[in-house]
Structure 1
Amino acid sequence: MGDRLVEWDSNKAAINKKKHGISFQVAAKVFLDENRYTAIDEAHSDEELRYKTIGRVGKLLFVIYTERDEATRIISARRANKEERMIYYVSQNAYLSRDEIDF
């Protein structure tokens, strides 16, 4: 994301941390993953264009965000589920370790 500012609503961040155990401060690091996978979140883009990104910050995270003016605004963040982990690895033709796969 280059030098873009990453921001969020502090109330939404507190709710997200309680619900998913992921702080937006940690989630913002997903944009540093050069191998991150990003797509338009078509299911939630009625009022504004939203994106979904899967990237590694220790574990794989799934982050929903939008672009506003000069800032990336995080809306939600959680650990990536099995399907999202597969998308991340398939997008890179990467090897999946046993730790990343739920059998």
Structure 2
Amino acid sequence: MIFEWDDDKAAANLRKHHVAFELAELVWDDPAHIIVFDRYENDEERWHAIGLVRGILILTVVHTLPTGDDENSIRIISARKATADERKRYEAQDD
């Protein structure tokens, strides 16, 4: 999987949410991560990936899914610690 992002957006995200996009990539290393549709905005679908990073931190990563010629490329839009509801949704998989 190839990850891409806007460098200015990544810097702004780090300042606001204290999560680097390089760390956010690790969500996809979690075999139990989930992908949830968020919304349609700016002519593209936005999705949430929710997963465990480094065994201790559940992150939510807003991203686009691969399409067309970029079938292996995910564009990260934002990343942050998961909300309580997002953590519950992630943890509910084990039930």
Answer yes or no: same fold by TM over 0.5: yes
1:47-86, Cα deviation, whole Å (9 max, x unpaired): 2011101101130001000035231000000000111100
Kindly indicate whether residue 2 of structure 2 is the aligned counterpart of residue 5 of structure 1. yes
Unpaired runs of 5+ residues, structure 1, are: 94-103
Q: Aligned to 2:29, which of 21, 27, 32?
A: 32
For residue 23 of structure 1, what is the aligned residue in structure 2?
A: 20
Which residue number in structure 1 is paired with residue 65 of structure 2?
67
What percent of counterpart residues are identical? 38
Equivalences, count: 88
Structure with higher strand content = 2
Secondary structure of residue in 2 paired with 1:85: helix
TM-score under structure 2 length normalisation:
0.86
Does the Cα contact within 8 Å between 1:35 and 1:92 map onto a contact in 2? no
1:41 alignment partner, SS class:
strand
- Uncovered stretches (5+) of structure 2, i.e. residues with no partner: none
Partner of 2:80: 78
Larger radius of gyration: 1
TM-score (norm 1): 0.80
| 1:98 alignment partner in structure 2 | none
The runs of at least 4 consecutive aligned structure 1 residues that moved more than 2 Å come to none
